[in-house]
């Protein structure tokens, strides 16, 4: 390699003495900064940055490696710990698991430098990796895995590293009755996510054995808790009251105007829907329906058709985990203090409630609804820009070439006739906002298309996100319960006035 040339991923791995997957992990966590190679194949790295990473922080890193934490100081603005990984069993995974091993970088704790994303605590995990524009669950490409497996299988894979048997999400009858009673006394204006947070507390109060943190007990709690979140959601309002339903109705009117469909077909479809609704209700009562089918009934009303529910199931799988998002880190901190699984999920839901995390899908929904209502993306985007408002639903810092979750979900939605209007509107927004080059949608926009096509309310995307990510939070809890307690306590960097003596 000539002087000044950039290094390939494999060359970086050789220089650092780590696996190729570790290089991807370092890049995703900001320890290294990559650029696309010429021709768009692979990534390249700055040799000087690689050398700084190779030579920085080894003594302290190895001293703390046994505890799972490494003190890291910034190296020219880049967190600079590098610890070769050791193969260890995935936390919470029983012996004999079929889950593949994936190396991940050691934990970093912020040093005295200015705190930035790369300097904040990073957690060693065998669950999720974001690297080279792809998302992996336990070493397997998440997009490909979700395309072949139901959400229940995804949960099993994240929790235990296997899909057979898939967990069955159930709510005990007594808890279901309690959730219904408590839901009935909440204010009518309560958000759906408010009801979910209350449901977690109710489920916790109903479980006196929740402090048993053995793996089998946590898994039993996890299956109940995910189902309880869906059970706590009320029946949807009249379809005509949601923006998604109104836009869906207008799209249906346009379709009927363009091509006349026999009335007999409509009557037959209505009869099939009514019959399916009865069947779906019976399945839900018996806990036989999957989470996607049950969630569809709570958010959209009615059972939904097979293809539509499959899209919701795919969305749940794609959103189950995503490295250490702020809600996931909050959940792990709670688990490190040995909080019970309900408290772990409560911590995740609290962080998710912020507008910069869980609220992003609602903003994308509103933008899409406005474009469909007004029929002009140029006017809507122009008004957003004039008001100095960000165009929601586009771009992701971890995916410079586009969010693979969004691509997968939008591709699946393209097969749904009800989604056509909203996919067209999303494409128009991307084209207009990007001007010379169309913007790349992220998963928030894909969720907006899904929920609007289904006639769901504006907050449905956040609910779907929360149900899905609860599986990830619990997977991280299972992993964190195997680590040293209270390890996720970074030291503060005091920046107050000078300390004075007692005589002052």
Q: CA separation (Å) from 158 to 90, 138, 213, 276?
A: 10, 7, 17, 32
* Cβ neighbour number for residue 310 with a 10 Å cutoff: 17
Q: Is residue 281 within 8 Å of residue 298, measured between CB atoms? A: no
Between CA 20 and CA 34 the distance in angstroms is 14
Q: Which of 306, 447, 468, 483 is nearest to 368 (CA)?
A: 447
Determine the Cα angle at 498 with ends 492 and 504, to 5°: 130
- 30: DSSP letter: T
3-state secondary structure of 469: helix
Q: Per the structure block, which two tokens stand in for 12?
A: 């970086």
Phi, psi dihedrals of residue 474, rounded to the nearest 5°: -70, -35
Q: CA separation (Å) from 185 to 178, 189, 213, 228?
A: 11, 11, 32, 17
> Would you mind telling me the total number of residues written for the chain in this entry?
504
Q: Per the structure block, which two tokens stand in for 301?
A: 């009303």
DSSP readout, 319-353? TS--SS-HHHHHHHHHHHTT--HHHHHHHHHHHHT
Q: Which of 150, 424, 406, 412 is nearest to 307 (CA)?
A: 412
* Active-site position among 149, 322, 396, 476: 396
Q: CA separation (Å) from 464 to 70, 294, 450, 460?
A: 35, 12, 11, 6
Phi, psi dihedrals of residue 428, rounded to the nearest 5°: -65, -40
Q: Is residue 83 within 8 Å of residue 292, measured between CB atoms? A: no
Phi, psi dihedrals of residue 360, rounded to the nearest 5°: -65, -35
**Is 384 designated active site?**
no
Residue with tokens 């969305």: 315
Helix (H), strand (E) at residue 432: helix 420-434
Sequence-distant contacts of 145-151: CB under 8 A, at least 24 apart: 145/317, 146/314, 146/317, 146/318, 146/408, 147/314, 147/408, 149/317, 150/290, 150/292, 150/313, 150/317, 151/290, 151/291, 151/292, 151/313, 151/316, 151/317, 151/320, 151/468, 151/471
Between CA 54 and CA 65 the distance in angstroms is 16
Residue 410 half-sphere exposure, CB side, CA atoms within 13 Å?
22
Write a three-state SS string for 234-272: CCCCCHHHCHHHHHHHHHHHHHHHHCCCCHHHHHHHHHH
The catalytic site residues sit at 396, 444
């Amino acid at each position: 390699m000539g002087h000044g040339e950039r290094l390939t991923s494999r060359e970086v791995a050789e220089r650092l003495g780590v696996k190729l997957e570790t290089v991807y992990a370092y890049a995703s966590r900001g320890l290294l900064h990559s650029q696309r190679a010429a021709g768009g194949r692979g990534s390249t790295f700055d040799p000087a940055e690689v050398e700084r990473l190779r030579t920085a922080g080894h003594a302290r890193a190895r001293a703390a490696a046994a505890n799972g934490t490494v003190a890291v100081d910034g190296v020219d603005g880049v967190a600079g710990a590098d610890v070769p990984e050791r193969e260890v069993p995935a936390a919470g995974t029983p012996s004999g698991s079929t889950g593949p091993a994936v190396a991940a970088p050691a934990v970093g704790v912020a040093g005295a430098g200015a705190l930035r994303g790369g300097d904040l605590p990073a957690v060693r995990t065998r669950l999720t990796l974001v690297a080279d524009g792809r998302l992996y669950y336990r070493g397997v490409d998440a997009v490909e895995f979700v395309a072949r497996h139901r959400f229940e299988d995804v949960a099993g894979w994240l929790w235990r590293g296997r899909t057979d048997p898939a967990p069955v999400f159930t709510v005990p009858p007594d808890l279901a009755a309690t959730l219904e009673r408590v839901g009935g006394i909440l204010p009518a204006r309560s958000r759906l996510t408010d009801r979910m947070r209350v449901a977690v507390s109710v489920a916790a109060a109903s479980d006196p054995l929740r402090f048993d943190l053995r793996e089998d007990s946590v898994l039993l709690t996890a299956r109940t808790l995910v189902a309880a979140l869906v059970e706590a959601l009320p029946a949807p309002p009249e379809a005509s009251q949601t923006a998604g339903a109104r836009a869906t109705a207008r799209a249906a009117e346009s379709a009927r105007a363009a091509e006349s469909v026999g009335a007999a077909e409509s009557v037959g479809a209505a009869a099939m829907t009514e019959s399916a609704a009865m069947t779906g209700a019976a399945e839900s009562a018996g806990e036989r329906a999957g989470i996607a089918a049950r969630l569809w009934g709570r958010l959209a009303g009615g059972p939904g058709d097979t293809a539509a529910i499959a899209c919701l199931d795919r969305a749940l799988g794609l959103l189950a985990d995503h490295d250490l998002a702020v809600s996931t880190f909050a959940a792990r901190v709670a688990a490190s203090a040995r909080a019970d699984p309900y408290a772990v999920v409560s911590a995740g839901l609290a962080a998710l409630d912020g507008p910069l995390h869980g609220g992003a899908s609602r903003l994308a929904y509103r933008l899409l609804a406005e474009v469909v209502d007004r029929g002009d993306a140029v006017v809507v985007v122009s008004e957003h820009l004039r008001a100095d408002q960000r165009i929601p639903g586009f771009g992701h810092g971890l995916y410079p070439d586009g969010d693979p979750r969004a691509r997968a979900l939008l591709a699946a939605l393209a097969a749904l006739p009800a989604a056509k209007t909203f996919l067209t509107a999303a494409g128009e927004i991307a084209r207009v906002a990007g001007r010379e080059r169309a913007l790349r949608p992220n998963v928030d926009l894909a969720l907006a298309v899904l929920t609007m096509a289904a006639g769901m309310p504006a907050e449905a995307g956040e609910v779907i996100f929360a149900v899905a990510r609860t599986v990830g939070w619990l997977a991280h809890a299972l992993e964190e319960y195997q680590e040293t307690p209270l390890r996720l306590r970074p030291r503060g960097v005091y920046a107050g006035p000078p300390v004075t003596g007692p005589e002052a």
